[in-house]
Amino acid sequence: MTVPPTQSATSDATARSRVMFAAAHVVADPAVPQGPDTPAAVDWDATLAFRRHLWSLGLGVADAMDTAQRGAGLDWPAARKLIARCGAEARAVGGLLACGAGTDQLDPAEEPTIARIVAAYEQQIEVVEDAGAQVVLMASRALAAIARGPEAGAVYAEVYGRLLPQLRQPAILHWLGTPFDPALEGYWGSPDLDVAAARLLGIIRAHAAQVDGVKVSLLDSAREIAIRRALPAGVRLYTGDDFHYPELIKGDEHGFSHALLGIFDPIAAQAAAALAVLDQGDTAAFDAILGPTVPLSRHLFSAPTSRYKTGVVFLAYLAGHQDHFTMIAGAQRNRSTEHLAELHRLAQQANILPDPELARDRMNKILTDGGHS
């Protein structure tokens, strides 16, 4: 079964059996120099238009997170504007919105402390909640840096234990694995993933009323399933596994995962269509729609996985969602021309490009130019 790439749906088609967020990218302003040491310059019109596209398909939007280059070019002043503007758009269209709250405004020259980390989280939580969005408590590099040794688990328990009771509505916790961000090695207080998972589950059980769910981005389906089965009743597992998402969302006799995925940015139409048939109990159609997107996703998120954002923006360019291939921090240079050409081939194979001729012309321009500026 194939889905026409131009297929769209209204918000009436929002999936009901699963909660589904697409982690959305930001569109850089091509008129402003973009580099690793320059403030983020965002094309707000194009960025918000893409979010309206996602909402029109019935998907939720997860914003100001990793796919939006948070911690990789999207600085806190720009993220703050993004959250506020996206919140206003969500209210206008009735769209589901979750936004990341972290600690990236902390001065890296200052020694992080528990007090500073909690205060930074609190500042960002207030911005997210004032925008009317659900809070995603993102993993903190500063917290990972100080929570070491035998007392590390207690540090995480203290920080999350101070934050969760303050929230206006239950939050989504986030475990972002080292393939996505090596600076988060040992999150939850141990490099041993079994120990880390046990500590995460302990925090969730202690504050279950304040936790809507946890996004697990480890690219390890067996571990995700084990965590999912151990969660307290009513707490959701949001898959962040861009390698195994169809099987995890479909689930098994013991349960299923909801989703908060970067791959849903470029395959939004296919994701919406797959979720619609899953709502009807048609798992064969679900597999037929999402299955062809998996080779594309595996290439997109291939090592070094943290560079997947370049591919997400490139696919948005090929699909006509933006008229240039420029990224915040100059991140369009983070993947080779060969990698991008293979993305184009797999995108064609997965039938995700609304205008194949436009995509071919833009791919040929990249090849003719000998790369990307």
Which of 328, 373, 330 shows the shortest CA–CA distance to 81? 328
259 pLDDT exceeds 50? yes
pLDDT at 370: 64
Percent of the chain with pLDDT over 90: 92
Residue 140 has pLDDT above 60, yes or no: yes
Asked if 59 contacts 271 with a C-beta cutoff of 8 angstroms, the reply is yes
Q: Are 171 and 135 in contact (CB under 8 A)?
A: yes
Least confident of 9-23, 100-114, 326-340: 9-23
In a domain, 345, yes or no: no
Strand partners, 172: 136, 213
Q: Output the pLDDT for position 280.
A: 95
Q: Which residue has the higher pLDDT, 79 or 12?
A: 79
Asked whether residue 342 is domain-assigned, the answer is no
**pLDDT of 7 above 70:** no
- Residue 325 confidence (pLDDT): 97
Q: What pLDDT, on a 0 to 100 scale, did the predictor assign at position 15?
A: 54
Look at residue 81 and tell me whether its pLDDT is greater than 70: yes
Q: Are 291 and 246 in contact (CB under 8 A)?
A: yes
Q: Place 373 in a pLDDT band, splitting at 50, 70 and 90.
A: low
- CATH number of the domain to which 168 belongs: 3.20.20.70
- Looking at residue 369, its pLDDT comes to 83
Distance CA(360)–CA(124), nearest Å, equals 41
pLDDT given at position 35: 86
Q: What is the pLDDT of residue 13?
A: 47
226-256 pLDDT per residue, tens? 999 999 999 999 999 999 999 999 999 999 9
40-60: per-residue pLDDT in tens? 999 999 999 999 999 999 999
What total number of domains does the chain contain?
1
Is residue 337 in some structural domain? no
Identify the CA nearest to 261 among candidates 14, 7, 20: 20
Backbone phi, psi, residue 327, to 5°:
-130, 155
In the chain, where does DSSP find H-type helix?
A: 44-56, 76-93, 114-130, 141-146, 152-163, 193-206, 221-230, 245-250, 268-279, 283-290, 294-300, 308-318, 337-350, 356-369
Give the pairing type, strands 211-217 and 60-63.
Answer: unpaired
| Percentage of the residues of the chain whose pLDDT score is greater than 70 | 95
Q: How far from each other are the two terminal CA atoms of the chain, in whole angstroms?
A: 38
Does residue 109 lie in a domain region? yes
The domain in which residue 72 lies consists of 14-293
Least confident range of 8-17, 47-56, 143-152: 8-17
Span 17-38, pLDDT tens digits: 999 999 999 999 999 998 888 9
120 in a structural domain: yes
pLDDT at 123 over 50: yes
Mean pLDDT of all residues belonging to the chain = 94
Write out pLDDT tens, residues 321-340.
999 999 999 999 999 999 99
Q: What is the pLDDT of residue 5?
A: 38
Res. 14: pLDDT tops 60: no
